[in-house]
Amino acid sequence: MNNISRQTLISSILVIAALAFLVHRSRSFTSRPAPVERVWPVMGTFASVTLRGDHADQLDAVCDQTAAMLETVNSLMSVYIPDSEISRLNATTEAVPVSPLTRQMLERTRHYTQGTGGAFDATVLPLVRLWGFSGGKTPETLPSDAMIEAARRLMGIDKLELGENSARMTAPGTTLDLGGIAKGFAVDRCYEAVIAGNAVNAIFNLGGNIRVHGKATPDRPWRIGVQDPFEQGETLGFLALDSGMALATSGNYERFVMINGKRYTHIIDPRTGRPVEGMAGVTILSESATETDALSTALFVIGIEDAAATLARFPGSEAIMVPDRRPTEIYLSKGMQAKFVPHPEYRNAIRRLPE
């Protein structure tokens, strides 16, 4: 098991253990059936789901539906699967038929690429591969300026043409990588299944993309720890999530390559064509897991100085940003300040994002 998988597994197990404790406590309040809890590998990471409600058979059904939904999203949109709809789209400049789910995903992808001024840019795949991610081979030496420029010239979401039931990449070599948004999108689709299936309390965690429904116990909201980017398995503090809210973190520790003894992270700055330096972790809170996923990647690229201006374009989204320097500093957006509860040792590390 590689580093990401191990860390994600540990995080998932911690979440499940915490939930199991809460659920155990809460059962004395209620005669409801036992919660359904599952953890399984999918989309190159781990999914964990906990559901509580009045009807055990409904909970099982919703759980099965979420597992099936994650498989569906993966099989349609993974660039690792040669005949996924996205791989087929990437391989040609002809129009490719796409399912309603992929069509919706592509529309959202374009929305966030445009809304973040291209900091989140799903046409980043040639650069992502050049640096050794998403199926690329880890380079032994740093890619040359000419190689970076050549890959960068292939980018542009304007080359994605969306029809009603089809899509087309209009320029040869321009290719999509939905790795920065697909997990959040998948979590939103699972969330919808829960609402439809009447599971009253639920938490999904797909590789750090979280969305909740209801409460952890009858008298307590879901509380989620915010990952400390410098200490595996440790948290900086907590956030209480109201029903329906989503949370996602992008971190430089999640996936990286070593070139000439230096660590390069998996998030690429489309403006420079190089892995982002200077950020350690970005956590976004919002009403949609698609948005938290896209914006956590985007703000990781944008950095502390310009983050507030981007957030202002997405009302309801709030950020926690940790630069890659010690001692730890934790920058909070305006609306995050009343929500994030740092551990006592980090109270003096709190800063405000510049407006």
Q: Point out which residues bind ligand AMP (CB under 6 A).
A: 120-122, 124, 128, 133-134, 177, 179-180, 250, 254-255, 266-268, 270, 293, 296-297, 301
User: Which uninterrupted H or E stretch holds 328?
Assistant: none
With a CB cutoff of 8 Å and minimum separation 6, the contacts of 211 are 187, 188, 190, 191, 203, 204, 244, 245, 246, 247, 289
With a CB cutoff of 8 Å and minimum separation 6, the contacts of 189 are 69, 73, 101
Instruction: Quote the least distance from Cβ 178 to ligand AMP, whole Å.
Output: 8
270 binds, among Mg ion, ligand AMP, none (CB under 5 to 8 A by kind): ligand AMP
Q: Count how many Cα atoms sit within 13 Å of the Cα of residue 257 in the half-sphere of its side chain.
A: 24
Which residues here bind Mg ion, judged by CB under 5 A? 180, 293, 296-297
Q: Which residue is nearest to Mg ion (CB)?
A: 297
Which of 36/182 has CB closer to ligand AMP? 182
281 binds, among ligand AMP, Mg ion, none (CB under 5 to 8 A by kind): none
Which of 63/191 has CB closer to ligand AMP? 191
| Alpha-carbon span 8 to 13, nearest angstrom | 8
Question: Strand runs (DSSP E) across the chain, as ranges?
Answer: 36-42, 45-52, 96-97, 160-162, 166-169, 201-206, 209-213, 222-227, 235-241, 246-251, 256-259, 262-265, 268-269, 274-275, 279-286, 318-323, 330-332, 340-342, 350-352
Instruction: Quote the least distance from Cβ 24 to ligand AMP, whole Å.
Output: 32
Which of 96/181 has CB closer to ligand AMP? 181
Instruction: Quote the least distance from Cβ 37 to Mg ion, whole Å.
Output: 25
Instruction: Quote the least distance from Cβ 194 to ligand AMP, whole Å.
Output: 22
124 binds, among Mg ion, ligand AMP, none (CB under 5 to 8 A by kind): ligand AMP
| Alpha-carbon span 191 to 169, nearest angstrom | 30
317 binds, among Mg ion, ligand AMP, none (CB under 5 to 8 A by kind): none
Instruction: Single out the residue of 302, 208, 305, 250 nearest to residue 11, CA to CA.
Output: 208
Which of 197/208 has CB closer to ligand AMP? 208
Instruction: Quote the least distance from Cβ 248 to ligand AMP, whole Å.
Output: 7
134 binds, among Mg ion, ligand AMP, none (CB under 5 to 8 A by kind): ligand AMP
Which of 35/191 has CB closer to ligand AMP? 191
Instruction: Single out the residue of 106, 114, 80 nearest to residue 167, CA to CA.
Output: 106
Instruction: Quote the least distance from Cβ 43 to Mg ion, whole Å.
Output: 12
**Upstream peptide bond of 323 is cis (omega within 30 degrees of 0):** no
Instruction: Quote the least distance from Cβ 331 to Mg ion, whole Å.
Output: 18
128 binds, among ligand AMP, Mg ion, none (CB under 5 to 8 A by kind): ligand AMP
Which of 58/296 has CB closer to ligand AMP? 296
C-alpha torsion sign, points 98, 178, 243, 114? negative
